[in-house]
C-alpha cells in the first residue's frame, strides 16, 4: 500500500472515529434528561421568538447542557421553525427530544378556572377579572354585545354559563372562557330538556333554566334538589306564587344589604315572586347540571311548602299544608332563638 493511500485511509478512520464520537455525544445529549428540579420548571416562548434564542435561554437557566447541540437537533429534524409560542411546563425526566416535540405540538401549560354554582353573572365577571392568567377584556355593561357575539337567543346574560371547571393556556381572554361555558350550558340544557319528565309546567328550556336557578339558590343539600324542585313545580301547576326569597334579593340587585325585610317582600319588582305569579323573567343565578336535572325531573309528592330546619346542616322541613308549614316556621324560629341565647 502506497504512503498516499495509507494517509487517505488514516484520514478516513480519523473522520469515522470523530463522527462516531460526535454521534454518540449527540445521541447521549438527546436521551439524557434535562436539568430541572423534581417540581419541574416553566418556560415561556414569546410570539416571534427564534429557536436559537430558546436554546440560549434553556442553557442560561441550566436546563440543557449544550445550546449548540439542541440548535443542531432542531435544524436537522426540521422542527426549529415549527415551535409554537406559549407557556410550557418542563417536567423532571424530560429529554431534549421530548422538549422539542412539546414545543412543536404546542402542548402549552393549562390553567383552570371554576365557575361556581349559584354565582350571578356579575360575580362570574368579577372572578374572571381577578384571575391573574386570564386576560380581562369586558365589563358588565358589555353583556349585550357579548350575547350578540355568541348568537344567543336570550336577551339577558344571567344563568347562561354552566358551572364547571374550564382549562386553558395563560393569556386566554375572559370572553373565550365565557364562550366555552355558554356553549356547554346550551349542550347540557338541550340534553336535559330531551330527558325531562312529562307534563311539566314549563314551556321551554329557558323556563327550565329559570326554575333551575331558583332551585340552585334555595338548595344547601344536594339531596334536596329534586324535592325543592317538586315544591316549585306543584306551585306552578296550582297557580300558587313561588314566594322564594332569592328572587326578591335578585330583584333588589346590588343595593341589597344582606338583610331581607318584610318591606322588601312587599315591594314589587319583576323578580318578586311574593307579588307576582309564575316564574321571574330570567334566571337569578348560574344553575349547575344537577339543578337543571332536578328542575326537569322533580320529585313526586304533595308538598307545597318548605322552610329551613335551623339544624345547621342546610336541611329543610317540607309540608303539605299551611298549618304544617306555620308550625315548621315556629320550630325554626325557636331554634334560632335558642342558638342566640347560647352565644
Mean pLDDT of 296-310: 96
Decide if 163 contacts 195 (C-beta within 8 A): no
CA distance 306 to 299: 14
How long is the chain?
343
Query: Kindly report the CA angle at 64 between 60 and 70, in degrees rounded to 5?
Result: 105
Q: Each residue of 74-89: pLDDT tens digit?
A: 998 899 999 999 999 9
Q: Which residues pair with 151 in a beta bridge?
A: none
**H or E element: which one contains 113?**
strand 110-114
For residue 172, which of 160, 159, 181, 163 has the smallest C-alpha distance?
A: 181
Sign of CA dihedral 46, 47, 49, 55: positive
Helices (H) then strands (E): counts for the chain = 13, 6
More confident residue, 103 or 19: 103
Grid coordinates representing 64? 440543557
How sure is the predictor about 32, in pLDDT bands with cuts at 50, 70 and 90? confident
More confident residue, 286 or 47: 286
For residue 206, which of 225, 185, 224, 222 has the smallest C-alpha distance?
A: 185
Backbone angles phi, psi at 90, to 5 degrees: -95, 110
How sure is the predictor about 342, in pLDDT bands with cuts at 50, 70 and 90? confident
Predicted TM-score (pTM) of the model is 0.85
What is 278-332 written as a DSSP string?
A: S--SS-SS---HHHHHHHHSPPPSS--EEEE--SSSS-EEEESSHHHHHHHHHHH
pLDDT at 7 exceeding the cut of 80: no
For residue 180, which of 193, 167, 194, 169 has the smallest C-alpha distance?
A: 167
How sure is the predictor about 20, in pLDDT bands with cuts at 50, 70 and 90? very low
Q: Each residue of 248-290: pLDDT tens digit?
A: 999 999 999 999 999 999 999 999 999 999 999 999 999 999 9
Residue spans of the domains in the chain: they are 111-190, 208-342
Return the CA Rg of the chain.
32
For residue 48, which of 75, 83, 16 has the smallest C-alpha distance?
A: 83
pLDDT at 16 exceeding the cut of 80: no
Q: Each residue of 219-250: pLDDT tens digit?
A: 999 999 999 999 999 999 999 999 999 999 99
Residue bearing cell 365589563: 139
How sure is the predictor about 12, in pLDDT bands with cuts at 50, 70 and 90? low
Q: Each residue of 159-189: pLDDT tens digit?
A: 999 999 999 999 999 999 999 999 999 999 9
Sign of CA dihedral 280, 282, 284, 285: positive
User: Measured between alpha carbons, how far apart are the two ends of the chain, in Å?
Assistant: 108
Mean pLDDT, rounded, of the chain: 91
Grid coordinates representing 237? 301547576
Distance of alpha carbon 308 from the chain centroid: 30
pLDDT of 283 reads 98
CA distance 158 to 270: 15
Q: What's the maximum distance between 2 C-alpha atoms anywhere in the chain?
A: 121
pLDDT of 65 reads 86
pLDDT at 28 exceeding the cut of 90: no
Query: Which 8-state DSSP code applies to residue 71?
Result: H
Amino acid at each position: 500500500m502506497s504512503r498516499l493511500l495509507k494517509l487517505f485511509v488514516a484520514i478516513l478512520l480519523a473522520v469515522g472515529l470523530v463522527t462516531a464520537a460526535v454521534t454518540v455525544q449527540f445521541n447521549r445529549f438527546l436521551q439524557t434528561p434535562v436539568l430541572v428540579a423534581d417540581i419541574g420548571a416553566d418556560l415561556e416562548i414569546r410570539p416571534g421568538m427564534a429557536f436559537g434564542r430558546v436554546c440560549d435561554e434553556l442553557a442560561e437557566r441550566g436546563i440543557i447542557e449544550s445550546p449548540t447541540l439542541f440548535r443542531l437537533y432542531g435544524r436537522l429534524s426540521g422542527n426549529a421553525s415549527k415551535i409554537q409560542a406559549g407557556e410550557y411546563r418542563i417536567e423532571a425526566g424530560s429529554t431534549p427530544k421530548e422538549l422539542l416535540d412539546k414545543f412543536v405540538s404546542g402542548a402549552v401549560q393549562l390553567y383552570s378556572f371554576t365557575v361556581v354554582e349559584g354565582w350571578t353573572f356579575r360575580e362570574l365577571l368579577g372572578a374572571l377579572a381577578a384571575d391573574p392568567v386570564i386576560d380581562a377584556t369586558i365589563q358588565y355593561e358589555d353583556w349585550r354585545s357579548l350575547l350578540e357575539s355568541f348568537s344567543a337567543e336570550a336577551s339577558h346574560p344571567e344563568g347562561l354559563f354552566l358551572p364547571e371547571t374550564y382549562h386553558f393556556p395563560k393569556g386566554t381572554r375572559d370572553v373565550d372562557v365565557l364562550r366555552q361555558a355558554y356553549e356547554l350550558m346550551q349542550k347540557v340544557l338541550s340534553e336535559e330538556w330531551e330527558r325531562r319528565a312529562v307534563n311539566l309546567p314549563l314551556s321551554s328550556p329557558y323556563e327550565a333554566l329559570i326554575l333551575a336557578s331558583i332551585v340552585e339558590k334555595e338548595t344547601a343539600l344536594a339531596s334536596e334538589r329534586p324535592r325543592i324542585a317538586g315544591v316549585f313545580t306543584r306551585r306552578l301547576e296550582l297557580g300558587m306564587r313561588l314566594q322564594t326569597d332569592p328572587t326578591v334579593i335578585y330583584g333588589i340587585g346590588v343595593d341589597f344589604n344582606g338583610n331581607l325585610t318584610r318591606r322588601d317582600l312587599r315591594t314589587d319588582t319583576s323578580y318578586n315572586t311574593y307579588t307576582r305569579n309564575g316564574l321571574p323573567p330570567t334566571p337569578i343565578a348560574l344553575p349547575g347540571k344537577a339543578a337543571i336535572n332536578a328542575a326537569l325531573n322533580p320529585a313526586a309528592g304533595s308538598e307545597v311548602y318548605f322552610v329551613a330546619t335551623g339544624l345547621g346542616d342546610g336541611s329543610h322541613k317540607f309540608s303539605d299544608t299551611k298549618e304544617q308549614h306555620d308550625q315548621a316556621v315556629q320550630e325554626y324560629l325557636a331554634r334560632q332563638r335558642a342558638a342566640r341565647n347560647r352565644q
